[in-house]
Every structure is written in structure tokens, then in C-alpha cells.
Chains A and B, each alone.
Chain A
Amino acid sequence: DTGVSQDPRHKITKRGQNVTFRCDPISEHNRLYWYRQTLGQGPEFLTYFQNEAQLEKSRLLSDRFSAERPKGSFSTLEIQRTEQGDSAMYLCASSLTARSYEQYFGPGTRLTVT
């Protein structure tokens, strides 16, 4: 399978714990995006990378959130001191540089904060 993959698929954590999610994009794609989707809503943009550079961050990305893409391949999204409001589906997408209109999404990581 050469699509976008995400790990884990589901994470249950207690409030105040730190969690980290991983995304592996389509291999030739140099753009990587993170979105968050809550129940009954469309995905909302969080941040994106061009290769290893993080070029844009949404105001939704509070200082408890950090994302990295150290070698321009896979990316991680870490949430520190989780809150119940962080419960959501975290989606990763990737695209070619010149084709941001063709973003391909992974299956998502569903986070539940208890």
C-alpha cells in the first residue's frame, strides 16, 4: 500500500498525559499537512510542512502542540498535557508541492482523552 499511513489508529489517554502520533506520507510527496476533525464537523487545518520546514501554523495549534518532520519524510504530532477538548480525529495528508489541491489523507488517529 503506497498511501498515507498513520499510527496509532486509536489512542486513549488520561487528561494531563502527553501523546505522540506518527504520519508517513506518500513517498514522493514533499508537502505534509495535519488537520483535526471533531464529530460532525469537517477537518480543520493545523499545520503544514514543505520538506522538513514547517511553514504555516493555525491559531488552533496551541503551545501544547508541536509537530516535526525532521528528515522531510515522516512527521510526528505531539500533544502535551492533554485536555478533554483535544479529543478528536487527527488527520495527516500529503501532496506534491505544486498540487496542494490534491491532498491525500491517511486513515487518521482517533484520540480520546478521559
Chain B
Amino acid sequence: QKEVEQDPGPLSVPEGAIVSLNCTYSNSAFQYFMWYRQYSRKGPELLMYTYSSGNKEDGRFTAQVDKSSKYISLFIRDSQPSDSATYLCAMLIQGAQKLVFGQGTRLTINP
């Protein structure tokens, strides 16, 4: 079993929809939770990070962490075609240096 599981999709939604992307994990030592966006043939771009549990909002993006369920989510409001990309969740144990990534979810926003 992988430490971090992410539904690879693909996920296709109409423009303006609310998108929910999710990851589950098995290692309770993870303390930092990150979301990256990766366009085709590009490097991952850090969207946001969250420490421990709770919500964090940045513009149209909201990250949510539920440590009791070992479940994290990224919500995208008012989705735009430019949001079409692969979204990767990543996790980090406090004091460690290596990010552990999910498989990535491929998202398409249709105009």
C-alpha cells in the first residue's frame, strides 16, 4: 500500500464548477500537507501548504486537512479553463526533508 493515495482521475468539469480533489494517507507522522499544480511537461508549482489540521484559504483555493481521518482536500471555486492541470498532493514529516507525493489527479475544466 502506498503511503499517499490519490485518485488519478481524469476529472472533467464545466467552467465555474466547484472542484474537490482528495488524498488519503497512512502515515500518522505526516504534519505538513502541500498541494502542487503541474501543467503538462512542466515542473510542479506549489499552490499552498497547511500545517496539521484545519482549513487554509488562498483566493479561489481552499485546503482542508482532517488528521483524524487521514484525509486532505483541495477545493477550487469558480473553476477556470486555466486550472486544467494535474494536481499533486504531497506530505512531509516534521523534521524530515523528503516530500511524499500522491499519484496526481488530472483535471480538465471545459469552457
A40 B103 Cβ-Cβ under 8 A: yes
Residue of A nearest to B100 (CB): A45
- List chain B positions with a Cβ less than 8 A from chain A: 4, 6, 8, 32, 34, 36, 41-46, 49, 51, 88, 90, 92, 96-104
A42 B104 Cβ-Cβ under 8 A: yes
Q: How far is the CB of A41 from chain B (nearest CB, A)?
A: 6
Give complex CA distance A101, B70 in Å.
18
Q: How far is the CB of A109 from chain B (nearest CB, A)?
A: 10
Q: Bin chain A's interface residue count.
A: 20 to 34
Known: A33-B97, A43-B99, A100-B92. A107 touches B43 (CB 8 A): yes
Q: Across the interface, which residues of A come within 8 angstroms of B97, CB to CB?
A: 31, 33, 48, 55-56, 100
Q: Across the interface, which residues of A come within 8 angstroms of B51, CB to CB?
A: 101
Known: A41-B104, A100-B92, A101-B34. A33 touches B98 (CB 8 A): yes
Q: How far is the CB of A7 from chain B (nearest CB, A)?
A: 13
The 5 A-B pairs with the shortest beta carbon distances in the complex, nearest first, are A42-B101, A45-B98, A105-B43, A101-B32, A107-B43
B101 A44 Cβ-Cβ under 8 A: yes
Give complex CA distance A4, B90 in Å.
19
Q: How far is the CB of A61 from chain B (nearest CB, A)?
A: 12
Q: Across the interface, which residues of B come within 8 angstroms of A45, CB to CB?
A: 98-100
Known: A48-B98, A102-B46. A42 touches B103 (CB 8 A): yes
